[in-house]
Amino acid sequence: MVDVAARETKSTRTRQRILDAAAEVFSEQGYPARLSDIADRAGMKAGSLYYHFDSREDLVAEVLRLGIEGSWEQVAAAVGRLPSTATPLQRLEAAVRAHTLSIVGRSAYATAQARIVGSLPPDLARAHRKDQRAYGEYWRDLFDAAQRAGQLKSGVDTFAAQMLAFGAMNWTSEWFQAGRGLTPEQLADQAVMLFFGGVASLP
Amino acid sequence: MVDVAARETKSTRTRQRILDAAAEVFSEQGYPARLSDIADRAGMKAGSLYYHFDSREDLVAEVLRLGIEGSWEQVAAAVGRLPSTATPLQRLEAAVRAHTLSIVGRSAYATAQARIVGSLPPDLARAHRKDQRAYGEYWRDLFDAAQRAGQLKSGVDTFAAQMLAFGAMNWTSEWFQAGRGLTPEQLADQAVMLFFGGVASLP
DNA sequence: GTCTATATGACGATAGAC
DNA sequence: GTCTATCGTCATATAGAC
């Protein structure tokens, strides 16, 4: 066995613990969170972080990457679980539901990602944009398929619709509190209903 | 004339210039923006800011307040311009259009507010929440009226709908670029169409 | 690998001249 | 009112012991 990626050394486990702590702290405090707070939660001293990460920015970048990756995996899995007879619109619906749940469903990474993207210094923002673009293109394919199938209202700008949807879904990390009012699943239902059918009762 | 509020001393003009500069810088760099950058743009040195504001937090708080105030005024004006025969749903539509335009339509304050609200330290967040709540209740009245008039789809959770809408609209400050693709007005149309009718072509 | 201790550098904030 | 100069604080990052 020489599969380095899969090997579980003490180091990789600690690194993971640090990342988990960082995701939680960033999701609570936003970008200005201090390394000492992250170290505290990981059960170590701030200086010790540097054995695992070269800099604060490296740590932030990794949390951001994992945030997108996590949502993407959940969304892709949900879409993949659909029967092959599912329509493009149903696939898009499953994606909206899954992404909303990935934000709200206690994924500190997804929440942190959604919360701190707005305050990134230029270099981190640039690095992050590549991942965003890749995930965005996955969504664009979903939109394009639905549009080609004639399942989208005429006049809909798919790019604007996609970005408006991301805004609505990602912002839930700021206000949604499980147990107060809606469950995560009910919130996802609301998002799907609103996004595909709108709030108005009259056509 | 002893109307202090309306008097235009040099001090109030400078104060205004600082606030404008701060709104721009915060809208570009997010919460971590430096006072020196703000001072630069206002044409002064960082230390001089303290003649006009007691602390960095005071300055941030004022920008936040003006951000909400500006959107609110634009929205209220748009709703007020409607004929008295307008339905509750039409009033809500006007609000969505106006709020979207207030974010995209080059209001640095609204953009800054939408952008940095996620990274506020606890005390600033608490202070800001009062303003948010007041503006939110204005919206809640619009929603309630529409619901009472039977113009909202049954099953819609108005609070969730409101917050999802805010997320979608405020997030536009992160991605929308006038001149590339849609105009601000077209974007507002998209937001209205999506929010009230959804993207799906089939009912 | 994690610690303590310290270097380094930023930034917010203050004091006093003008 | 704005400047220059400086203080104090705090966070990132490094060095070296364990």
Contact B152 A200 (CB under 8 A): yes
Contact (Cβ atoms closer than 8 angstroms) between residue B60 and residue B116:
yes
Residues near chain D (nucleic strand), Cβ < 7 A?
A 34-36, 46-47, 50, 54-57; B 9-11, 14, 39, 43-45, 47-48, 51-52
Sign of CA dihedral A127, A133, A134, A139: positive
Chain A residue numbers with beta carbons less than 8 Å from the beta carbon of B169 are 164, 167
Q: Which nucleotides of D are covered by protein (CB under 7 A)?
A: 1-6, 10-16
Q: pTM of this prediction?
A: 0.95
Which of the residue ranges A116-130, B12-26, B91-105, B138-152 would you say has the lowest mean pLDDT? Answer: A116-130
Give me the phi and psi of A200, to 5 degrees please: -75, 145
Instruction: Please give the distance of CA A193 from its chain centroid, rounded to a whole number.
Output: 20
pLDDT tier at B107 (50, 70, 90 boundaries)?
confident
Of the partner residues A118, A197, A202, the one whose CB lies closest to the CB of residue B200: A197
Run of H or E including B183: none
User: Which among A160, A172, A201 is the nearest to B167, CB-wise?
Assistant: A172
For residue A6, what pLDDT band results from cuts at 50, 70 and 90? low
CA distance A143 to A151: 10
Phi-psi region of B43 (alpha: psi -120 to 50; beta: other; left: phi over 0): left
Helix and strand numbers, DSSP H then E, in chain A = 8, 0
- Chain segment B1-40, per-residue pLDDT in tens: 445 555 678 889 999 999 999 999 999 999 999 999 999 9
pLDDT at A23 over 50: yes
At position A199, the amino acid (one-letter code) is V
Q: Cβ contact (<8 Å) for B115 and A119?
A: yes
How sure is the predictor about B118, in pLDDT bands with cuts at 50, 70 and 90?
A: confident
pLDDT in tens, B72-82: 999 999 999 99
CB proximity B30–strand C (7 Å threshold): no
In total, the C-beta contacts within 8 angstroms joining chain A to chain B are: 176
Whether the pLDDT of residue A160 is over 60: the answer is yes
Residues of B in contact with A190 (CB under 8 A): 156-157, 160-161, 164
How far is residue B118 from each of residues A23, A174, B113, B190, measured CA to CA in Å?
A: 15, 7, 9, 25
Across the interface, whether the CB atoms of A198 and B196 are under 8 A apart is answered: yes
Q: Are A90 and A82 in contact (CB under 8 A)?
A: yes
Among residues A195, A190, A188, A198, the alpha carbon closest in space to that of A104 is found at: A188
pLDDT at A198: 97
3-state helix, strand, coil in chain A (%, to 5): 75, 0, 25
